[in-house]
A and B are shown apart, each in its own frame.
Chain A
């Protein structure tokens, strides 16, 4: 199974951009890269996903390396409500496994 590696924790100041990295060196050609986040005491929620090209939506941007072995979730202006655990996962033929994610702390 393809695995992802993320830093355990990151800090950001409010109103500043945040770049959350993810390594997935064993990614296969058909794996989509997904990002989810989990707010305290809630279930995970979808943030963004992509295959090869960079993606933007109202929540964030996803930058995918040309060799697809890494990706970066970009929050353009962090708010206190963005404090959460962020998970980068690869979807492989139905099986979706999560790692431990990155805990993002946003300082006012």
Chain B
């Protein structure tokens, strides 16, 4: 199994550009998450989804959009990129059952906005 796959691994954007960070998982997990991590800081939840067609805001949703049309995919869209969005982005997934809630993380996407 591939687990959680994020693409791209690295990206440089100019201010005002837009892009989509891709995340896909092959474990049939219901729950999926997007986090950002600024240097030296912990992870901040951007958006999460508890199943296909359902998304909800996390702690820092401004400037981002998500969709969840399938169980496998959870893309994160950045519109009008700003320097404050320079960060490492992690996607994660886990099973819905509370007794089996180990989350699996992707390797991250390092984004720089200049």
Chain A interface residues toward B at CB < 8 A: 30, 32, 34, 36, 42-46, 49, 85, 87, 91, 94-101
Chain B residue numbers with a CB within 8 Å of A34 are: 101, 103
What's the least CB distance linking A103 to chain B, in Å? 9
Pick from B42, B56, B92, B103: contact of A99, CB under 8 Å? B42
Q: Are B90 and A44 in contact (CB under 8 A)?
A: yes
Chain B residue numbers with a CB within 8 Å of A91 are: 98, 101
- Give a binary string over B55-81; 1 marks a CB under 8 Å from any A CB, 0 the rest: 010110000000000000000000000
Pick from B33, B41, B56, B59: contact of A100, CB under 8 Å? B41
Q: Are A98 and B101 in contact (CB under 8 A)?
A: no
Chain B interface residues toward A at CB < 8 A: 31, 33, 35, 41-45, 48, 50, 56, 58-59, 90, 92, 94, 96, 98-99, 101-108
Q: Are B58 and A97 in contact (CB under 8 A)?
A: yes
Chain B residue numbers with a CB within 8 Å of A98 are: 35, 42-45
CA distance A102 to B50 in the complex (A): 28
Q: Are B45 and A95 in contact (CB under 8 A)?
A: yes
Max chain A C-beta neighbours (<10 A), residue from B33, B59, B94, B103: B103
Q: Which residue from chain A places its CB closest to the CB of B110 in the assembled complex? A: A41
Closest 7 CB pairs of A and B: A43-B105, A100-B42, A98-B43, A94-B50, A46-B102, A98-B42, A97-B45
Q: Which residue from chain B places its CB closest to the CB of A46 in the assembled complex? A: B102
Q: Are B48 and A44 in contact (CB under 8 A)?
A: no
